[in-house]
């Protein structure tokens, strides 16, 4: 039987639009789900997804990807990666596994909504593949850490991420609730596919993959490459929609969605990717600094994409460029100080050599963040360990759900407003602006501190808070990944 070339039949199968006769258009595509209600359905026929694939091709390629990743894993199981890897790399892997699989699962639900509610037939088609992609990402990133659970219980946080009230995972789930789960499919695709996936997943999946390969964790590197190759495809769902928005009077909404989601994503990745890249990955295995990765993978590409579409850079661009050298350093010393509350044992990453590297990559680091570390190190070297863990609650940003940090001895970034009689704090001027765009969307968010103050955490002390977050239940409260051996080089000076 003669087979047609794909190009001869493809458009018939991806353009499956029809005119509903028994129900109204509003019933098929409710505005709250489908978005852009004022734009006629026929306009969406012009949506042209840049990446085209048939089901037969899709399953063939995906099967090969899975087979490749799982066979590397099987081959390396005997290589004993866990016992040979540096503590810093193990910290990075555990941070990743606790935060990422649950977001992948949410992304699968998100793409499933595209399949049902997108007005563009090409988008429904690609959403179908996207939903299968994300389901695979969730599963593979649950399967890989599972092999280490008998060696290290903290790897079990990959599954705990789905149900825990741990503060860090609350922050990740809050972002996905806001950007993936509770907006119409047009807004969602701008926020997730365009702003989040086009650039930022590259950082985590290509940047961290390079670091993983350098650190000898080839199964992580291979797995993460197989995930990213899917991202590169479905990340393109948002761009043709942005074109339609620009052509049909939705410019302001498009710009606002980009501005909100770029910032939210940036602040989350500063923790998820920024901390491991500049502090956990062993110095000799670091490919680039976090800032260099951002400049190469995000800033150039993102600016170009915006320009091509006729959009502006977000209004906070200069503030963001400063934040590049600040936020993750603050979050690192913050998370390290609050280390009992983490699902992974953090690596300090501030030995003398590492500090030299930090100063070279971030001039001025020693005079600001370094000075704060001097205090921590001095306390540790003199045995005053109780002074290296804070005794008060942090201030948590109502939008990012992350602790508010600033530059030690320089600036605090806290912003505040009063809304409906409640005093609300934010970690930046941009988070405050995001709140003001839609206060009702954000005001009922209960950060971990809100829960504490509302009496949900009992007993209302550190022990109760740890238990509420699963520490001392799923795993012990976390502690320094190297058992503080890195402090030794500072002890002689401290003794004097
Ligand atoms: Fe994914
Ligand atoms: Fe994705």
Contact 339, 478 (CB under 8 A): yes
> pTM of this prediction?
0.95
* Overall average pLDDT of the 78-100 stretch: 88
State the residue for tokens 């500072």: 490
Report the separation in Å between the CA atom of 80 and the middle of ligand 2, taken as the mean of its atom positions.
30
The model's pLDDT over 346-387, given as tens digits with 9 standing for 90+, comes to 999 999 999 999 999 999 999 999 999 999 999 999 999 999
Structure confidence at residue 253 (pLDDT): 96
The model's pLDDT over 446-455, given as tens digits with 9 standing for 90+, comes to 999 999 999 9
* Overall average pLDDT of the 94-109 stretch: 95
* Overall average pLDDT of the 458-468 stretch: 90
Name the packing angle between helices 369-381 and 327-337 (round to 10°). 20
State the residue for tokens 């606002």: 256
Report the separation in Å between the CA atom of 236 and the middle of ligand 2, taken as the mean of its atom positions.
10
Report the separation in Å between the CA atom of 363 and the middle of ligand 1, taken as the mean of its atom positions.
35
Check pLDDT > 90 for residue 345.
yes
Report the distance separating Cα 165 and Cα 412, nearest Å. 27
The model's pLDDT over 113-145, given as tens digits with 9 standing for 90+, comes to 999 999 999 999 999 999 999 999 999 999 999
Report the separation in Å between the CA atom of 219 and the middle of ligand 2, taken as the mean of its atom positions.
20
Residue 151 token pair: 């060696």
Report the separation in Å between the CA atom of 62 and the middle of ligand 2, taken as the mean of its atom positions.
14
**Ion ligand 2 nearby residues (CB, 5 A):** 107, 197, 231
Structure confidence at residue 305 (pLDDT): 92
Report the separation in Å between the CA atom of 202 and the middle of ligand 1, taken as the mean of its atom positions.
11
Report the distance separating Cα 235 and Cα 51, nearest Å. 10
Report the separation in Å between the CA atom of 447 and the middle of ligand 2, taken as the mean of its atom positions.
26
Structure confidence at residue 11 (pLDDT): 81
Report the separation in Å between the CA atom of 129 and the middle of ligand 2, taken as the mean of its atom positions.
11
* Overall average pLDDT of the 439-467 stretch: 92
Report the separation in Å between the CA atom of 409 and the middle of ligand 1, taken as the mean of its atom positions.
39
Contact 328, 274 (CB under 8 A): yes
Q: Name residues whose C-beta falls within 8 Å of residue 36's C-beta, 6 or more positions apart in sequence.
A: 119, 184, 186, 244, 245, 248, 250
Residue 403 token pair: 């602790």
State the residue for tokens 């939008």: 399
Residue 449 token pair: 């501190």
Residues forming beta bridges with residue 471, ordered by sequence position: 475
What's the whole-number average pLDDT of the chain?
92
Check pLDDT > 90 for residue 211.
no
Report the separation in Å between the CA atom of 342 and the middle of ligand 1, taken as the mean of its atom positions.
24
* Overall average pLDDT of the 139-165 stretch: 94
Check pLDDT > 80 for residue 327.
yes
> What separation in angstroms does the CA of 186 have from each of 242, 250, 253, 368, 384?
9, 11, 10, 42, 54
Report the distance separating Cα 60 and Cα 52, nearest Å. 15
Report the separation in Å between the CA atom of 195 and the middle of ligand 2, taken as the mean of its atom positions.
11
Report the separation in Å between the CA atom of 103 and the middle of ligand 2, taken as the mean of its atom positions.
9
Superfamily of domain 46-495: Ribonucleotide Reductase, subunit A (1.10.620.20)
**Ion ligand 1 nearby residues (CB, 5 A):** 104, 134, 137
Structure confidence at residue 296 (pLDDT): 87
Check pLDDT > 80 for residue 66.
yes
To the nearest 10°, the Cα dihedral for 284, 290, 293, 299? -170
Check pLDDT > 80 for residue 414.
yes
Check pLDDT > 80 for residue 199.
no
Report the distance separating Cα 121 and Cα 19, nearest Å. 12
Residue scoring higher pLDDT (50 or 29):
29
* Overall average pLDDT of the 68-79 stretch: 82
Residue 235 CA: which ligand is closest? 2
Check pLDDT > 70 for residue 1.
no
The domain spans of the chain are 46-495
Report the separation in Å between the CA atom of 267 and the middle of ligand 2, taken as the mean of its atom positions.
18
The model's pLDDT over 429-439, given as tens digits with 9 standing for 90+, comes to 999 999 999 99
The model's pLDDT over 265-315, given as tens digits with 9 standing for 90+, comes to 999 999 999 999 999 999 998 889 999 999 988 898 899 999 999 999 999
Residue scoring higher pLDDT (221 or 203):
221
Structure confidence at residue 434 (pLDDT): 98
Report the separation in Å between the CA atom of 449 and the middle of ligand 2, taken as the mean of its atom positions.
31
* Overall average pLDDT of the 28-36 stretch: 96
Report the separation in Å between the CA atom of 298 and the middle of ligand 2, taken as the mean of its atom positions.
16
Dihedrals φ, ψ of 219, to 5°?
Answer: -70, -40
Residue scoring higher pLDDT (436 or 56):
436
Q: Name residues whose C-beta falls within 8 Å of residue 403's C-beta, 6 or more positions apart in sequence.
A: 331, 334, 338, 394, 395, 396, 397, 427
Q: Name residues whose C-beta falls within 8 Å of residue 38's C-beta, 6 or more positions apart in sequence.
A: 249
Structure confidence at residue 4 (pLDDT): 84
Report the distance separating Cα 496 and Cα 493, nearest Å. 5
Contact 425, 398 (CB under 8 A): yes
Report the distance separating Cα 322 and Cα 106, nearest Å. 31
Reduced 3-state DSSP string for 424-478? EEECCHHHHHHHHHCHHHHCCCCCHHHHHHCCCCCCCCHHHHHHHCCECCCECCC
Report the distance separating Cα 479 and Cα 383, nearest Å. 16
Reduced 3-state DSSP string for the chain? CCCCCHHHHHHHHHCCCCCCCCCCHHHHCCHHHHCCCCCCHHHHHHCCCCCCCCHHHHHHHHHHHHHHHHHHHHHHHHHCHHHHCCHHHHHHHHHHHHHHHHHHHHHHHHHHHHHHHCCCHHHHHHHHHHHHHHHHHHHHHHHHHHCCCCCCHHHHHHHHCCCCCCHHHHHHHHHHHHHHHCCCHHHHHHHHHHHHHHHHHHHHHHHHHHHHHHCCCHHHHHHHHHHHHHHHHHHHHHHHHHHHHHHCCCHHHHHHHHHHHHHHHHHHHHHHHHHHHHHHCCHHHCCCCHHHHHHHHHHHHHHHHHHHHCCCCCCCHHHHHHHCCCHHHHHHHHHHHCHHHCCCCCCCCCCHHHHHHHHHHCCCHHHCHHHHHHHHHHHHHCCCHHHHCCCCCCCECCCCCCECCCECCCECCCEEEEECCEEEEECCHHHHHHHHHCHHHHCCCCCHHHHHHCCCCCCCCHHHHHHHCCECCCECCCCCCCCCHHHHHHHHHHHC
């Amino acid at each position: 039987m003669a087979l047609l070339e794909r190009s001869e039949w493809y458009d018939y199968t991806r353009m499956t639009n029809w005119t509903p006769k028994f129900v109204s258009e509003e019933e098929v595509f409710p505005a709250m789900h489908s978005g852009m209600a004022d734009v006629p359905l026929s306009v969406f026929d012009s949506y042209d997804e840049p990446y085209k694939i048939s089901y037969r091709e899709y399953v063939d390629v995906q099967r090969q990807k899975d087979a490749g990743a799982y066979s590397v894993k099987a081959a390396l199981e005997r290589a004993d990666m866990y016992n040979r890897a540096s503590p810093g790399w193990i910290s990075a892997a555990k941070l990743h596994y606790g935060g990422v699989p649950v977001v992948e699962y949410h992304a699968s639900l998100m793409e499933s909504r595209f399949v049902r509610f997108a007005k563009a037939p090409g988008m429904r088609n690609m959403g179908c593949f996207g939903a299968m992609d994300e389901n695979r990402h969730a599963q593979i990133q649950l399967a890989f850490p599972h092999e280490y659970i008998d060696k290290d219980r903290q790897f079990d946080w990959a599954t705990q991420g789905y149900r825990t009230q741990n503060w860090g995972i609350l922050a990740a789930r809050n972002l996905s609730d806001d950007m993936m789960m509770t907006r119409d499919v047009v807004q969602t695709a701008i926020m997730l596919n365009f702003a989040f996936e086009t650039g930022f997943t590259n950082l985590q999946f290509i940047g961290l993959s390079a670091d993983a390969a350098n650190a000898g964790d080839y199964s992580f590197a291979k797995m993460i490459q197989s995930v990213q190759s899917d991202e590169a495809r479905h990340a393109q769902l948002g761009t043709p929609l942005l074109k339609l928005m620009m052509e049909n009077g939705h410019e302001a909404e498009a710009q606002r969605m980009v501005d909100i989601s770029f910032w939210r994503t940036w602040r989350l990745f500063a923790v998820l990717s920024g901390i491991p890249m500049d502090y956990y990955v062993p110095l000799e295995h670091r490919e680039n600094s976090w800032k260099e990765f951002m400049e190469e993978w995000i800033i150039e590409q993102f600016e170009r994409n915006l320009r091509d579409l006729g959009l502006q850079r977000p209004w906070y661009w200069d503030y963001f460029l400063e934040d590049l050298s600040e936020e993750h350093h603050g979050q690192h010393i913050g998370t390290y100080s609050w280390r009992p509350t983490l699902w992974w044992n953090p690596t300090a990453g501030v030995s003398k050599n590492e500090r030299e590297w930090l100063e070279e990559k971030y001039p001025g680091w020693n005079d600001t963040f370094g000075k704060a570390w001097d205090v921590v190190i001095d306390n540790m070297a003199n045995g005053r360990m109780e002074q290296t863990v804070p005794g008060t609650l942090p201030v948590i940003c109502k939008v990012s759900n992350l602790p508010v940090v600033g530059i030690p001895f320089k600036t605090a970034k806290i912003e505040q407003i009063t809304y409906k009689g409640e005093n609300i704090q934010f970690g930046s001027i941009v988070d405050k602006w995001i709140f003001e765009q839609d206060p009702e969307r954000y005001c009922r968010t209960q950060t971990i501190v809100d829960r504490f103050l509302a009496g949900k955490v009992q007993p209302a002390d550190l022990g109760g808070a740890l238990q509420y977050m699963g520490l001392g239940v799923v795993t012990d409260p976390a502690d320094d990944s190297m058992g503080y051996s890195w402090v030794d080089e500072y002890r002689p000076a401290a003794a004097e």
